Amino acid sequence: MSPMTAIEIQQRAIQMLQEDADKILKLIEVQLDNLTMPQCPLYEEVLDTQMFGLSREIDFAVRLKLIQEDTGRRILSELERKLSKLNR
């Protein structure tokens, strides 16, 4: 397999970040299904840790000029929007 071109790396970066965001959403959905009360500290901690991890990946991709800053912001805000819907 020939090495990826810069454009392919950039496309793959966006795709991976979106997949990571979707994984967090899935993780939280499963947690909420199994939790009696979503305010339980562990749930908050898992969510904060995962969001912090994703934001560091996005920051790294932006600094490496693989994605635009607003693309990163969109991925995060879209995830936060979906998560807030889950919490209602």
- How many alpha carbons fall within 13 Å on the CB side of residue 69? 1
Q: Which lies closer to its own copies via its Cβ, residue 63 or residue 81?
A: 63
DSSP character for 37?
-
H-helix or E-strand spanning residue 42? helix 41-63
To its own copies, the closest distance from the beta carbon of 84 in angstroms equals 23
Q: Would you tell me which residues interact with its own copies (CB under 8 A)?
A: 3-6, 8-9, 12-13, 16, 49, 52-54, 56-57, 60-61, 63-66
To its own copies, the closest distance from the beta carbon of 85 in angstroms equals 25
To its own copies, the closest distance from the beta carbon of 26 in angstroms equals 17
d(CA 65, CA 27) in angstroms, rounded, equals 29
User: Tokens representing 71?
Assistant: 């693309």
Q: Which lies closer to its own copies via its Cβ, residue 43 or residue 60?
A: 60
